[in-house]
A and B are shown apart, each in its own frame.
Chain A
Amino acid sequence: MKTQFKLFTLAAGLSLSATATFAEDSSDPIVIPTHNWSSQIVMSHVVGQIFESMGANVEYVSTDSQAVYESVRLGDVTLELEVWEGAFGNSFRAAQEKGGIVDAGDHNAITREDWWYPSWTKDACPGLPDWEALNACKAEFVTPETGENGRFLGGPVDWLKHDAERVEALDMDFTVVNAGSASALWAEVAAAEKTKRPVVIFNWTPNFVEALYPGEFVEFPKWEEGCDTDPSVGPNPDATYDCGNPANGYLKKAAWDGMEEKWPAAYKTLTEVSFTNPQIAEMAKLVDIDEMEPEEAASAWLESNEDVWKPWVAGGA
C-alpha cells in the first residue's frame, strides 16, 4: 500500500513540477511543518532556505505540534526540526514504534522544562530558586480556586509533566492548575507583570519568553536516573517523581524514513544541522521582539551566520 501511495504522490508531483533541478534530489517539494511558536517557525525557514540554496523545492505547512509525528510517519510532511524530549518525546517514540519516522540526530542545544518564575516573584519570595523556599512562601501564590494552597500553573495536561505527582511526593502546599495552551501560560505572565503579582508557571528553555520576562527555574532535588520509576531514588523513599526534570533534555530532528532515498543531499544536510541555545533564542528574538516576518528573520539570520551553516551543506564551506 505504501509503495502504491508513494508512486501516486510521485506521479502527482512530477506532473506538477516544471522547475526541475539538476541535483540528484527529487524535485518534489520538501514539506516542512511549522508550529505556533516563533523559534520553530524561523528555524524551519532557515533550514528550508538552506535546502532551497541547494536547489530543492520547499514548502511549509502549519500543523499541530503533537499530530505532526503521524504526518511525518505517513510522509505527508518530510521532517520535523524541533523534537523536544520533554514535550514531544512520547509522541516521537510512539510514531517510531509504528514505523516510518527516523531520528536525524540531535541539536547542540539542550532543553530544560520545569517550574519557573519571572524575576519580580523573587522580591516577594527572596529564598528562591530553592523549592523549599518556594513552598515556604506559598501564601504569596494563593488564589481563590486553590484555597489555602499556592497555585502552580502547569502546561496542558497532555504534556504529561507529572507536576501533581511531584507536589504529592515532595509534600508541597501547592495545587496544580493546568492551562489549556502555551498562550494561556504567557497571558498569565503578561498579566502578572502589569501588577508585579508573584506567579510560578511551567516554562522551558530555549524560549522567547526569556527575552520578554527574565526569570529563573525553581531548583528541585536534582534529577537522577530512575526518579520517575523507582521510589527509592530521590529524597522521598516512598514516592516517584520526587525530583526536578532533567536539566539537559535533547532537542532532536526527525525525518520521514523515505527522505534519505528521495532527497539524499537534503537528508545529509539535515543530519548535520545543529543549533545552539543562543542561536535559537536569537531566531525567536528576531520575530518576537524585532517584529520581523519569519521568512525575513530566516534570511537575516542566514546572512549574518554563514560560517555556521555553510559547512552543513555538502560541498559547501
Chain B
Amino acid sequence: MTAALTNNPQARLPALSKTRVAQGLLGVAVLLVLTKTVLPAGLVRPPEWLVWPFADWINALFNFMRDDLGLMHVTRGFAEGVEWLLDVTANLLYGRNRWPYLGPIPWSVIAVTAGVVGYALQGWRLALLSAGTFVWIVVMGQWTWSMETLSVIVVAAPFSILFGLLIGVLGWKSRRVEKILNPILNIAQSLPHFAYMIPVVVFIGVGPKAGAIVTIIFSVPPMIRMTLLGLKKVSPEVVESGHMCGATRWQLLHSVQIPTARTDILVGVNQVIMQCLAMVVLASFIGMPGLGQKLLQLLQALKIGRSVEIGITIVLLAVMLDRCTKAWAVRQPEHFEKGTSWVVRNKFLVIWAVLVAVAFALAQVFPMLDQVKRSQALSMAKPIDAVVDWFIVLIDPVTQWLRWFLITWILIPMRDAYLYLPFSAVLALLAAIGWAIGGLRSALVCIAFFGLIAMSGWWDRAMITVYMVSFSVLLALLVGFPMGIWGARHDKRAVKVLLICDTLQTFPSFIYLIPVVMLFGVNDVAVVSAVFLFAAVPLVRYTIEGLRGVPEALIEAANMSGATQRQTLWNVRLPMALPTIMVGVNQSVMFSLFMVIIAAFIGTQDLGQEMQRALSSTDVGKGLVLGLAVAFMGLMVDHLVNRWASRRRQALGLA
C-alpha cells in the first residue's frame, strides 16, 4: 500500500479528470480523519449490521458437507490411498515396518542415484551437488529425518503434478472452467498456509497423510498455471500439422500439445517441488514427520545450532531439486539413429545400475555405507551456538537502543495512527489510490477487498497486520533497493547476490524467529525485523533482474549522448526497470503477509494471532475468514501493482 502511494506521482496519468476524482476521494479521506471526533460511530468502525457472521456460515457449510453429504468418507478414503503410498515410500526410504518390508535402502545407493541423475541432466557439477547433498545429510546424522520428509514429498509431488496437469488441461479446453479457475487460483496463492491446514485436520486428520495432502493442496496452483500457460503458447501451426497426420484428440493432446508445452510444464514441476519444500516445516504442525518436526522440537529447546544444520539441509535439498528440474526443463529430448544399440541409448541407466549394484555390495561389507547412527555423526552446532551467543552479547547495547528507539518513536505512534483512522477514511483513501491508478474499476476492486475485511469483523486486527506489513516493506525498500542497485553493477556480483537471495528464501523462516526474539525480546521490533528479512529478498532480486534486463542498446545510446554513470542509472536504467521492480514490491508484500502470520509465534496482536488460535481450536470458519482477509490485502496490492506496471510497460514500449 505504502509502495503504491509513494510511486503514485510517477504514474503520469493521461486523463486529468481521473486525477481530479482521485484528489476528491483523497480529500474525503482527509476530511473523515480530521473530523473523526464528531463522526457517527458507524463511520469510525464497521457498524454491527455491516459485520456478517461469515465464519458461522462457513462452519455450517463445512458441517453440512462433512456430516450430511458424507464428504468425510470420500476424503478419508482418498487419504487411506495416500497413506498406503506413504507406507511404501516410508518403508523403502527409512525402513518403516510396512509392506513391502524391503527398506531401508542404504544411503550410499540413494546418494549414487542422485549423482547419476545429476550427471545425466547436466554434468559433473550437478552430479556433485546432488550426491554431495546426500553425503552432507548422512554426515550430519539427519538421514532418517530427511528420508521421512522425502517419503512424503515423493508421494505429494506426483499427485500435485498430475492434478495440476489435469486441471490445467481442463481449463485450457474450456473457457468457462478457466474463468472460474482464475479467481480461485488467485485466492489460493495468497491464502496463508495455516488457513489450509484447519480444514485438512477436520477432513483428513493428522499424521503424514495430512502432511502430504496439505502439501498437495498448497503446491497445485502453480502447476495449473504453468500448464495453462504452456498449452496456450502452442502455436496453431504445430496443432495443424498434428491434425494433418490424422491424430485423434487424445493423441493430439498427448503427443503434440503437451510435448510442445514441455518447458513450461517442467517449470511448473519445478515450482511444485519448491512449494513442497516450503511446506516441510509448516506441515509438521499437523503431523508431517521428518526435518520440519525435528526443527520445531530443537527450536523449542533453544538449540539454534542444530536447527541451523537442519535449515541448511532443507536449503541444499531445495537447491538440488531446483537445479535438477531446471536442467530437465532446459534439456531437449535426445534422438538416436535407428539401430543404435540399447546400451548406448540407455547408457545412464546402465551406469546407474552398475553403480547401485556396487553400492549395495559395499554396503553389505561396510555398515557405514548402509546406515549411519546419530552418535557417529558430525555436528557443527556448538560453534554456531557460540557465534550466536557472542553476537547477541556483543550487539546488546545496539539492539537495546534500537528497540527503545523504534518502539517509542516509530512503531507505537505508527500503530496508534493506523488504529486511529476511521474505517471509512481508509476505504476512501484506498478508493483514491485505486482511481488514480486504474480508474473506476480499480477503485471498486480496492473498496470491495477492504470492505469485505471490514465486514469480517476483524478490522482492528487487520489494521495491525497492515501496519506491520507496511512498515516492514518500507524498511525492505530502503535497504533492498540500494542493495539491488549495488548488486546489479557487475555480472559476478549479481550471481552471488541472487544466490544469497535463493538461500534466504528457502531457509526455513521459523529459524529466524528465535534469534530475533533473543535480540529484541517479544515485541513488534522482533516481528518487524523477522518480516523485513523476508520482504527484502524479492526486492533485491527483482531490482537486479530489472536493471540487468534493460536493453543494451538503450544504455549504449545514453553513453553516446555523454551521460555519466549516475545519469544513466537514474534516467535510463531505473525508469526502464521500474515495472520489474514493482513486481518485486508486489512479491515483497506477499512474502510479508505470509511471514507476519508466522510471526504470531513471536507474539502479535494481529490476524496471525487469531489464525493460530483458530488452528489450535480447529475452527474452520474463523481460520478461513482470517485467511481470506489476509489474501484480500495481498490481492488488492497485486491488482494495483499489475495495473500500474502494465500501463507503465505500455508507455515504455516494453509490452
Listed stretches A166-174, A183-191, A262-270; interface member: A183-191
Distance of A143 Cα from B617 Cα, bound (Å):
32
Please provide the chain B residues from 392 to 424 with a CB less than 8 Å away from any CB of chain A in the complex: 392-393, 396, 403-404, 407-408, 412
Minimal beta-carbon separation of B600 from chain A (angstroms): 5
Minimal beta-carbon separation of B312 from chain A (angstroms): 19
Q: Which of A5, A71, A177, A187 contacts B523 (CB 8 A)?
A: A177
Report whether over half of chain B's contact residues are helix, strand or loop; otherwise say mixed.
helix
Minimal beta-carbon separation of A281 from chain B (angstroms): 14
Minimal beta-carbon separation of A64 from chain B (angstroms): 6
What chain B residues lie within 8 Å of A19 (beta carbons)? Answer: 97
Q: Is the CB of B76 within 8 A of A158?
A: no
Distance of A293 Cα from B306 Cα, bound (Å):
13
What chain A residues lie within 8 Å of B404 (beta carbons)? Answer: 144
Considering only CB atoms, which chain A residue lies closest to B412 in the complex? A145
Minimal beta-carbon separation of A20 from chain B (angstroms): 13
Minimal beta-carbon separation of A287 from chain B (angstroms): 7
Distance of A8 Cα from B522 Cα, bound (Å):
47
- In the complex, how many residue pairs between chain A and chain B have their CB atoms under 8 Å apart? 162
Q: Is the CB of B389 within 8 A of A194?
A: yes
Q: Is the CB of B207 within 8 A of A31?
A: yes
Listed stretches A32-40, A103-111, A221-229, A298-306; interface member: A32-40
Q: Is B472 an interface residue (CB 8 A)?
A: no
Q: Is the CB of A191 within 8 A of B207?
A: no
Distance of A186 Cα from B76 Cα, bound (Å):
38
Q: Is B58 an interface residue (CB 8 A)?
A: no
Q: Is the CB of B392 within 8 A of A194?
A: yes
Q: Is A12 an interface residue (CB 8 A)?
A: yes
Distance of A186 Cα from B296 Cα, bound (Å):
13
Q: Is B519 an interface residue (CB 8 A)?
A: yes
Minimal beta-carbon separation of A57 from chain B (angstroms): 8
Distance of A71 Cα from B612 Cα, bound (Å):
17
Q: Is the CB of A144 within 8 A of B80?
A: no
Q: Is the CB of B98 within 8 A of A16?
A: yes
Distance of A177 Cα from B207 Cα, bound (Å):
33
Q: Is B206 an interface residue (CB 8 A)?
A: yes
Please provide the chain B residues from 206 to 248 with a CB less than 8 Å away from any CB of chain A in the complex: 206-208
Q: Is the CB of A184 within 8 A of B403?
A: no
Q: Is B440 an interface residue (CB 8 A)?
A: no
Q: Is the CB of A18 within 8 A of B99?
A: yes
What chain B residues lie within 8 Å of A5 (beta carbons)? Answer: 72-73, 76
Interface size on A, residues (CB 8 A): 56
- Residues A179 and B206 in contact in the complex (CB < 8 Å), given A186-B302, A188-B521, A194-B396: no
Q: Is A279 an interface residue (CB 8 A)?
A: no
What chain A residues lie within 8 Å of B396 (beta carbons)? Answer: 194-195
Q: Is A156 an interface residue (CB 8 A)?
A: yes
Q: Which of A16, A91, A181 contacts B601 (CB 8 A)?
A: A181
What chain A residues lie within 8 Å of B616 (beta carbons)? Answer: 64-67, 91, 158
Distance of A227 Cα from B534 Cα, bound (Å):
46
What chain B residues lie within 8 Å of A31 (beta carbons)? Answer: 207
Minimal beta-carbon separation of A123 from chain B (angstroms): 18
Q: Is the CB of B618 within 8 A of A190?
A: no
Q: Is the CB of B99 within 8 A of A184?
A: no
Q: Is the CB of A143 within 8 A of B521?
A: yes
Q: Which of B284, B609, B617 contacts A66 (CB 8 A)?
A: B617
What chain B residues lie within 8 Å of A186 (beta carbons)? Answer: 300-302
Q: Is A41 an interface residue (CB 8 A)?
A: yes
Q: Is the CB of B99 within 8 A of A183?
A: no
- Residues A64 and B517 in contact in the complex (CB < 8 Å), given A180-B599, A194-B392: no
Q: Is A257 an interface residue (CB 8 A)?
A: no
- Residues A158 and B521 in contact in the complex (CB < 8 Å), given A16-B84, A71-B205: no
Scan A143-154; emit 1 where CB is below 8 A from any B CB, else 0.
111000000010
Q: Is the CB of B514 within 8 A of A12?
A: no
Q: Is A62 an interface residue (CB 8 A)?
A: yes
Distance of A182 Cα from B599 Cα, bound (Å):
13
Distance of A79 Cα from B503 Cα, bound (Å):
40
Please provide the chain B residues from 454 to 489 with a CB less than 8 Å away from any CB of chain A in the complex: none
Interface range, B side: 35 or more
Q: Is A76 an interface residue (CB 8 A)?
A: yes
Scan B275-310; emit 1 where CB is below 8 A from any A CB, else 0.
000000000111111000100110111100000000
Q: Is A288 an interface residue (CB 8 A)?
A: yes
Minimal beta-carbon separation of B414 from chain A (angstroms): 13
Q: Is the CB of B604 within 8 A of A180?
A: yes
Q: Is the CB of A183 within 8 A of B287?
A: no
What chain B residues lie within 8 Å of A195 (beta carbons)? Answer: 393, 396
Q: Is A113 an interface residue (CB 8 A)?
A: no
Q: Which of B72, B300, B523, B605 contacts A183 (CB 8 A)?
A: B300
Distance of A181 Cα from B302 Cα, bound (Å):
12
Q: Is A317 an interface residue (CB 8 A)?
A: no
Q: Is the CB of A293 within 8 A of B374?
A: yes
What chain B residues lie within 8 Å of A188 (beta carbons)? Answer: 517-518, 521-522
Minimal beta-carbon separation of A290 from chain B (angstroms): 12
Q: Is the CB of A158 within 8 A of B297?
A: no
Q: Is A119 an interface residue (CB 8 A)?
A: no
What chain B residues lie within 8 Å of A184 (beta carbons)? Answer: 513-514, 517, 522, 601-603
Q: Is A308 an interface residue (CB 8 A)?
A: no
Q: Which of A36, A76, A177, A179 contacts B297 (CB 8 A)?
A: A36
A36, A158, A180, A293 interface centre (most CB from chain B within 10 Å)? A180
Minimal beta-carbon separation of A284 from chain B (angstroms): 9
Distance of A182 Cα from B612 Cα, bound (Å):
13
What chain A residues lie within 8 Å of B205 (beta carbons)? Answer: 71, 74, 76
Q: Is the CB of A76 within 8 A of B99?
A: no
Considering only CB atoms, which chain A residue lies closest to B379 in the complex? A291
Considering only CB atoms, which chain A residue lies closest to B524 in the complex? A145
Q: Is A70 an interface residue (CB 8 A)?
A: yes
A65, A71, A187 interface centre (most CB from chain B within 10 Å)? A187
Q: Is the CB of A36 within 8 A of B300?
A: yes
Distance of A234 Cα from B87 Cα, bound (Å):
57
Scan A191-203; emit 1 where CB is below 8 A from any B CB, else 0.
1001100000000
What chain A residues lie within 8 Å of B605 (beta carbons)? Answer: 178
What chain B residues lie within 8 Å of A63 (beta carbons)? Answer: 206, 285-287
B296, B300, B374 interface centre (most CB from chain A within 10 Å)? B300
Considering only CB atoms, which chain B residue lies closest to A94 in the complex? B617
Considering only CB atoms, which chain B residue lies closest to A293 in the complex? B374
What chain A residues lie within 8 Å of B615 (beta carbons)? Answer: 64, 67
Q: Is the CB of A145 within 8 A of B523?
A: yes
Considering only CB atoms, which chain A residue lies closest to B393 in the complex? A194
Scan A28-65; emit 1 where CB is below 8 A from any B CB, else 0.
00010100111001000000000000000100011111
What chain B residues lie within 8 Å of A33 (beta carbons)? Answer: 206
Q: Is A77 an interface residue (CB 8 A)?
A: yes
Please provide the chain B residues from 502 to 554 with a CB less than 8 Å away from any CB of chain A in the complex: 513-515, 517-519, 521-524
Q: Which of A57, A153, A158 contacts B613 (CB 8 A)?
A: A158
Q: Is A157 an interface residue (CB 8 A)?
A: yes
Distance of A293 Cα from B141 Cα, bound (Å):
11
Distance of A274 Cα from B300 Cα, bound (Å):
25
- Residues A190 and B518 in contact in the complex (CB < 8 Å), given A16-B87, A178-B603, A287-B301: yes
Q: Is the CB of A208 within 8 A of B609?
A: no
Inter-chain pairs besides A65-B616, A91-B616, A191-B518, 11 sampled, C-beta below 8 Å: A1-B72, A8-B73, A37-B301, A62-B287, A67-B206, A76-B207, A144-B407, A177-B523, A180-B599, A187-B518, A208-B301
Would you list 22 pairs from A and B whose C-beta atoms are within 8 A, ordered by A residue? A37-B301, A57-B97, A61-B207, A64-B285, A66-B616, A67-B206, A67-B617, A77-B206, A144-B523, A145-B412, A156-B612, A157-B609, A158-B613, A183-B513, A184-B513, A187-B302, A187-B518, A188-B517, A188-B522, A191-B519, A194-B392, A288-B301
Q: 9 nearest interchain CB pairs?
A: A66-B616, A76-B205, A187-B517, A191-B518, A180-B603, A144-B407, A181-B601, A179-B603, A180-B601
Q: Give residues in A with beta carbon < 8 Å to B.
A: 1, 4-5, 8, 12, 16, 18-19, 31, 33, 36-38, 41, 57, 61-68, 70-71, 74, 76-77, 91, 143-145, 153, 156-158, 177-188, 190-191, 194-195, 208, 287-288, 293
